[in-house]
Amino acid sequence: MAKITGSLSQYPARVSFVAFVLLILLGTVLLCAPASHAKAEQPITWLEGLFTCVSSVCVTGLTVRSTGNDFSLFGQLVIMVLCQIGGLGILTITNFVMLQFGGALDLRDKRLLKETLGTEGAVNFRWVLKNVLFYTLIAEFLGAFVLFVRFSFEMTWLQAAWHAVFHSVTAFCNAGFSLNDSNLIAYQSDWTVILTISLLVVGGGLGFPVILDLLRQQRKPWGERFDSLHLHSKLILLGTGALLLGGTLSFMLFEWNDSLRGKDWQSKVLIPFFQSVTCRTAGFNSIDQAELNGASLFLSIFLMLVGGGPCSTAGGVKVTALVMLVLKSLGSLSGRAGITVFRRTIPQGSVDKATTVILFYVFIAGSGLLSILTLEDSFGGIDGRQNFLPCLFEVVSALGTVGLSVNMTTQLSDLSLIVLILLMFIGRLGPITVFAALSLPEHDRALKYVSEEPLVG
């Protein structure tokens, strides 16, 4: 593991930490400025500005003030830009600008980009950065165009254009901010809006390594494209598909006689599907989360904890970590020592990293939940015994940078909001810093002791 002290050049993952902190400070100042307030008599406090800024930079989407009503057009623009920078990554954007203007990346910059974008070996960084930004802009432009056409039927052209661009950017960045107080509930049976937002969310959550891998296969025949993909891409695509399908069918089963009762058939299909999509980790909602029953809330918590793909705009422990853990468990039950899939063997070190990350997230989530329950029982007005599952929902939503809420965020005390701020920050930077720390060279001890295996199970 990395030491606590040391230069930024020696431990490059810390550049991400410093860059995100500086961006949060700047964004907080801008959001607290009078120009960002829609109503002068209802200014944004520093805590509300900090919470909104962290939620934007960490592409979470949790809010304590109405994005569409309490923030001016300038404030909404600041939120959208913060989501874009936080989603793409500060390093990706700054290094692209550097390369475009003739600059060169040093070894530290290249190492940072490999960690951020998930590239390995000899890499044409200019090609990688160009394609990442090109894919992002094309996806957001196409999404905004479709949404603009749809919104223009009920808004003026200027309003439709702004709503389309804002929702397209926040959807691809998996941020979940909406200009509507009811989020997307009004469009729960609208195929155009729900499918467009869903495609943007999934596209942003696959991860840039998968996107770049898919781009490399464009000229190959359809039958050969999947076989030519890297193992990482195959695991992400299959894992994402399984989670989306399983989540959709499960939500439909759990809510058929509850929140889906009396809905038309479009809503009965789109609501479960979108709930499965948005938990990974978009934060949009087409149904009030407080209406979900206990089984659906628990399933939502699981999906929020999993999240999307590594090096993506999504948070969570990542799909590959879950897939490797499942494959390892199945292999152990069948008596196989290693993990072999698609004619490839997954190194034990990768499985150890996945296990470490999952344990890290579970520990942080438990600590956050314990902190909020303690603070609310002592200083807040929420009864922890009556709201244990909703509090866990809020904690995992913040740590997984999801942004879904059971309408409890605005009821929490200021100290609990600070806990959520820390969880959002850890959730966004956690995977980067953890993987960077674990990838540092190991130092063998001069003295080695006799091995002894403890009992398990």
Quickly list DSSP for 35-62: GGBS-TTSPPPHHHHHHHHHHHHTT---
User: Residue 376: what pLDDT?
Assistant: 86
**Between these two residues, 283 and 244, which has the higher pLDDT value?**
244
369 is written with which tokens? 């939940």
The distance in angstroms from the start CA to the end CA of the chain is: 28
Task: In whole angstroms, give the CA distance from residue 83 to residue 409.
Answer: 20
Instruction: Note the pLDDT of residue 344.
Output: 84
Distance between CA 184 and CA 288 in Å, rounded? 10
Which one is predicted more confidently, 200 or 14?
200
pTM for the model? 0.85
Q: Mean pLDDT for the chain? A: 83
200-240: pLDDT as tens digits = 999 988 887 888 888 878 777 877 788 888 888 899 999 99
* d(C-alpha 262, C-alpha 334), whole Å: 46
Q: Two tokens at 402?
A: 């999801």
Whether the per-residue pLDDT at 104 is higher than 90: the answer is no
Q: What is the pLDDT of residue 5?
A: 43
What pLDDT does residue 456 have? 58
pLDDT at 97 over 70: no
Give the position of tokens 């890297």.
230
Both structure tokens of 310: 């590594």
Listed residue (83, 82, 313) closest to 206, CA to CA: 313
Mean pLDDT of the 283-306 span = 92
Which among 386, 382, 442, 450 has a CA at the least distance from the CA of 416? 382
**Average pLDDT of the segment spanning 355-379:** 89
Other beta carbons within 10 angstroms of residue 344's beta carbon come to: 12
In this prediction, what percent of the chain has a pLDDT beyond 70?
82
